[in-house]
Amino acid sequence: MLNLPTKKSPVYYGWYIVAATMFISFVGVGTRQGFGVFVIPMSEDFGWSRGTISLAASLGVLLNGLIQPFMGVLLDRFGGRKLIVFSLILLGFATISLAFTFHILYLIFVYGILSSVALGGMSITTTGAMLSKWFRRRRATALSLSSAGLSMGALILVPFAMYLLLATNWRITWAVLGLLVLLLALPLAIVFLRDDPAKLGLLPDGDAAPPEEADGKKGKLARGPLEADGWRESFRSMPIWQMTASYFVCGATTSILSVHFVPYALGLGVSPGRAALAFGLMMALNVVGAIGAGMLSDRFSRKNLLALTYFVRGCAYILLLVLPGEMSLWAFASVAGFSWIASAPLTTSLTADVYGLKAIGTITGVTFLFHAVGGFFAILLAGYLFDLTGSYTLPFAIAGAMLFPAALSAFTIRERKYSMRYAGKPVVAVGAGD
């Protein structure tokens, strides 16, 4: 194993953890989104219908959301390093095992259960909670960079799997994807991931000395007024409900588009290729949006950036409904793209700032569960309303309208009062909803 850095290392060790978690997200999302590549060849080989093979994927997606609070508990108890390393080992072997698929129940068990449990253990919720311990001032920047691995995985690993499958077969492709996890991501995790900067004699952000308090004292990091020792404690205060309510809307307004955007575009008379291109543009812009929002929120108020994210997405929905024809799609994709995943690093950073790090894994896991529930019900409701009215106007209008109260909910979080970023600093003018 490599030696560990000294306090005087020019590059703060936390940035290596960011790089490692970015690659872990990259590999994980490749395995998850890459499943779409295997649907047709596996269905043809075994004579399964699309509905049958989708059972494995849908179970996995649902389990992945439900399992997050439990993964959070494990993270808080055993640390992120152990959880992520174990998850990578499980994911690697499970993915290789998919090469030996012989029955639908085997696929459901290995992909729907084993892989999903593993992916839950190395999700951005888990890596975000871990990174929060390494960064305080640049927390959102670190989390947003790590989240960018998700988009990179979709852009690089999924086409790689697609071409490999074309040149070989689905069994070899699953085996190669599994080997990438075991031979590339796992060593990176073992070498770089560490739970606590203090164990390396480092301080968050690589600071040379602890931050100075208002009274001039230096020492332990200030304890915020709502710092929680357990997740239940956090849910007895207002800010977590404000963030969770917004995150519920976030789940609803992003998931509804994942399913209904292309059908909506086709209904406008747009070709499938152009509809997919508009959706692809939105996905590419989310990298810029997430990193930009992360960096800005380390300089300015996080809750204002979070509110702005929801507000911008709400405006994008208005553009989608008001502008004519294809123009509405491009306007929506351009505006909404910036807000697509920006909410995730901002919410995790703000949660860590307000509630501290002792139960951060469980708290963010529970919050993510609400995000998943929001997405699940929004998709169902949109489908139901479409059947009822024959149009997406009403479900999209409801989704867009929900974003403005979500923005208000985030905007009215009393960050200056409760966040540890401001602990010890005088609370200035109670402006900007604070």
Q: In the window 316-355, what residues touch other proteins (CB under 8 A)?
A: 340-341, 344
C-beta separation of 320 from 424 below 8 A: no
Q: Does 159 bind other proteins (CB under 8 A)?
A: yes
Which residues, listed in sequence order, are joined to residue 212 by a DSSP beta bridge? 218
- CA distance linking residue 58 with residue 429, whole number of Å: 49
Q: Does 276 bind other proteins (CB under 8 A)?
A: yes
Mapped onto helix, strand or coil, the DSSP state of residue 212 is strand
Q: Does 280 bind other proteins (CB under 8 A)?
A: yes
Could you tell me which stretch among 49-57, 220-228, 403-411, 418-426 binds other proteins (CB under 8 A)?
49-57
Could you tell me which stretch among 184-192, 205-213, 297-305, 346-354 binds other proteins (CB under 8 A)?
184-192
Q: Does 379 bind other proteins (CB under 8 A)?
A: yes
140 vs 372, which CB is nearer to other proteins? 372
Of residues 402-421, those binding other proteins (CB under 8 A): none
C-beta separation of 56 from 112 below 8 A: yes
29 vs 228, which CB is nearer to other proteins? 29
C-beta separation of 325 from 268 below 8 A: yes
Q: Does 123 bind other proteins (CB under 8 A)?
A: yes
Contacts of 203 (CB under 8 A, 6+ apart): 197, 209, 210
Least CB distance to other proteins at residue 233 (A): 26
Least CB distance to other proteins at residue 217 (A): 29
Least CB distance to other proteins at residue 164 (A): 5
Residue 213 CA, distance from chain mean position: 33
- CA distance linking residue 257 with residue 347, whole number of Å: 21
Per-residue tokens: 268: 């406008």
Could you tell me which stretch among 5-13, 237-245, 396-404, 418-426 binds other proteins (CB under 8 A)?
5-13
In this structure, what DSSP letter does residue 198 have?
A: G
250 vs 285, which CB is nearer to other proteins? 250
Q: Does 61 bind other proteins (CB under 8 A)?
A: yes
Of residues 192-221, those binding other proteins (CB under 8 A): 192
Q: Does 188 bind other proteins (CB under 8 A)?
A: yes
| 325 backbone φψ class: left, alpha, beta (φ>0; ψ -120 to 50) | left
Residue 11 CA, distance from chain mean position: 26
Least CB distance to other proteins at residue 220 (A): 27
Q: Does 39 bind other proteins (CB under 8 A)?
A: yes
Alpha helices in 205-271 (DSSP H): 231-234, 238-267
Q: Does 6 bind other proteins (CB under 8 A)?
A: yes
CA dihedral 167, 169, 174, 180 (to 10 degrees): -30
Q: Does 164 bind other proteins (CB under 8 A)?
A: yes
Angle CA(300)–CA(289)–CA(301) in degrees, nearest 5?
Answer: 15
Which of 225, 230, 272, 325 is in the footprint of other proteins by CB under 8 A? 272
Which of 57, 290, 312, 354 is in the footprint of other proteins by CB under 8 A? 57
164 vs 287, which CB is nearer to other proteins? 164
C-beta separation of 82 from 91 below 8 A: no
Least CB distance to other proteins at residue 123 (A): 7
CA dihedral 281, 284, 290, 296 (to 10 degrees): -80
